[in-house]
Chain A
Amino acid sequence: MADPSQVFKAYDIRGTYPDQIDEELCRAIGAAVATFCGTSTLLMARDMRPSGVTLTKAFAQGANAAGVDVIDLGMASTDFLYFAAGSLDAPGAMFTASHNPAQYNGIKLCLAGAKPIGRDTGLTEIEELTRGFLAEPATGGTGGLTSREMLPEFADHVRSFVDTSVLRPLKVICDTANGMGGLVAPLIFEGLPFDVEILYPELDGTFPNHPADPIQAENLVDLQAAVLAAGADVGLAFDGDADRVFLIDEKAEPVSGSLTTALVASAILDKNPGGTVLYNLICSRTVPEVIAEKGGIGVRTKVGHSFIKQIMAETGAVFGGEHSGHYYYRDNYRADSGIITAMIVLELMSVSNQPLSVMLEPFQRYVASGEINTEVPDPAGAVEAVAEHVIAAGGTVDRLDGLTVDCGDWWYNLRPSNTEPLLRLNVEAPDAAACKAHVDEVLELVASLS
């Protein structure tokens, strides 16, 4: 019998099929989610992983047995499920393991209105309920299972974020990596003037071409080559469940999550003067600078989608971006969406009439190291030791998430991993040479204090 503690993570449920996550477990989870949410209806969708077929069936049976109706939305992207949970005001379960290898599957859960469910907001309770329903399956409930087609409504919703009348016939190449972008992108782009080419559009949960993880540089190689060969204006790389997107400019240069956040923030603030924009503390300094320059209010958050969503709710922020390629929109029920981000960038490019690389020049102010992981025996202890050292040397420290140290024209952040003996380091400096030197400096400091 599958063990819930192996698959219930901090923000979602994830494991390998069928040893860690199987139909029996999903039936228990269905009953648990139905019981926890306490609504009469649950929404359910899945990505293209083959195991999703039987796992969703079992999940629905569990929910039905607990007396809750299930609406099966079919195969979709994760941001589509959030849209459905928002527009229908019902809790939802998205069966996906995002960019994880083929043998994985999992579930991302949300409450009605697409409110997140994480460890402190229901996932712990659902895990406990799941144990109960594994021991004693729910019976007797008379919930039913129906299907509903909502993709056209989702397409209208995504297009509503831009003025489609200003869009120009840009040459756009998408790499959907055999993930759900292959379903969603053609649907959204239909009838729009873009000249769209899609790499690997077939939905195939075995990811036969390359992993659906665009944050890894090696997974952008095919898209880069295609952009250059076609003389395209932009490349769009989606991850497995298409809630993240990464941009490639016309020179095939990858655009970082921070730069994309700054670009989208500038567009959003033009339409929402004085609005609040969120960014996590790993983002480049460029982001708060651009927000201030555009007259917006910047709010810095810890790393993690539940923080961004929570603070978006508290502040009424109109947009939030993370370095990792997640972009959240107030008007998308505060949920993240890759395709909405793509549309906003394409609208900006249409209006600007400049190559993307030229549009980005004003935002290319600093050089970031990217996340560097170091193995240390006691990551939390290492962070404390560095903090004490910095304070003793007369410096100031920020403890919002791990340790952030402002060193004048450069800064760094150190965060301990909760699950592995790893320390995560991010550095940003005025140029590449300084960045490398400062990375070495901080790593030596950590080593000397560990």
Chain B
Amino acid sequence: MPLDSLLIEILADPTDKGSLLWFEDESILYNPRRHVVFTVNDGIPVLLPDEGREVDDAEHERLMALVDSAVETGSTSA
């Protein structure tokens, strides 16, 4: 399910406030700096710090290999 373009512009990691990578095919937002994945349910990102799931190195490598298909969020954050 696509994410609203206005959401993509503003969303940030709840802990470091930096940008996230939106992987639409997998319906996840990923922070490559902290190796944390946030789910998106029915178009609504769940951005609570303790709902983020830390991934291992292998998963990080897999996602970074797909980075060209991802959209970076937070281009207009305050």
* Chain A interface (Cβ < 8 Å from any Cβ of B): 16-19, 22-24, 27, 50-51, 53-54, 57-58, 61, 103, 137, 204-206
| Distance between Cα atoms of A294 and B26 in the complex (Å) | 66
| Distance between Cα atoms of A373 and B78 in the complex (Å) | 28
Binds A, one of B43-51, B54-62, B63-71: B43-51
| A16-B78, A18-B12 known; A23-B7 Cβ under 8 A | no
Are B4 and A22 within 8 A (Cβ)? no
Are A22 and B78 within 8 A (Cβ)? no
* Chain B interface (Cβ < 8 Å from any Cβ of A): 4, 6-7, 9-12, 14, 17, 43-50, 77-78
Are B6 and A54 within 8 A (Cβ)? no
Are A19 and B17 within 8 A (Cβ)? yes
- The dominant DSSP class at the A interface is loop
Contact partners of A19 in chain B: CB under 8 A: 17, 78
| Distance between Cα atoms of A23 and B46 in the complex (Å) | 8
Min CB distance, B78 to chain A, in Å?
4
Offer 13 A-B interface pairs, CB within 8 angstroms, sorted by A.
A17-B78, A18-B14, A19-B17, A50-B4, A50-B6, A50-B9, A53-B44, A54-B7, A54-B47, A57-B44, A58-B46, A137-B50, A206-B9
| Distance between Cα atoms of A17 and B14 in the complex (Å) | 10
- The dominant DSSP class at the B interface is loop
Are A54 and B77 within 8 A (Cβ)? no
Are A23 and B10 within 8 A (Cβ)? no
| Distance between Cα atoms of A233 and B45 in the complex (Å) | 45
Are B14 and A23 within 8 A (Cβ)? yes
Are B48 and A27 within 8 A (Cβ)? yes
| Distance between Cα atoms of A205 and B45 in the complex (Å) | 18
Nearest CB to that of A27 among chain B residues? B48
Partner of B47, one of A22, A50, A103, A206: A22
Contact partners of B43 in chain A: CB under 8 A: 53
* Most-contacted residue by chain B among A53, A137, A206 (CB, 10 A): A53
| Distance between Cα atoms of A58 and B78 in the complex (Å) | 20
Are A61 and B48 within 8 A (Cβ)? yes
Are B44 and A24 within 8 A (Cβ)? no
Min CB distance, A338 to chain B, in Å?
24
Nearest CB to that of A18 among chain B residues? B12
Nearest CB to that of A51 among chain B residues? B10
Min CB distance, A307 to chain B, in Å?
33
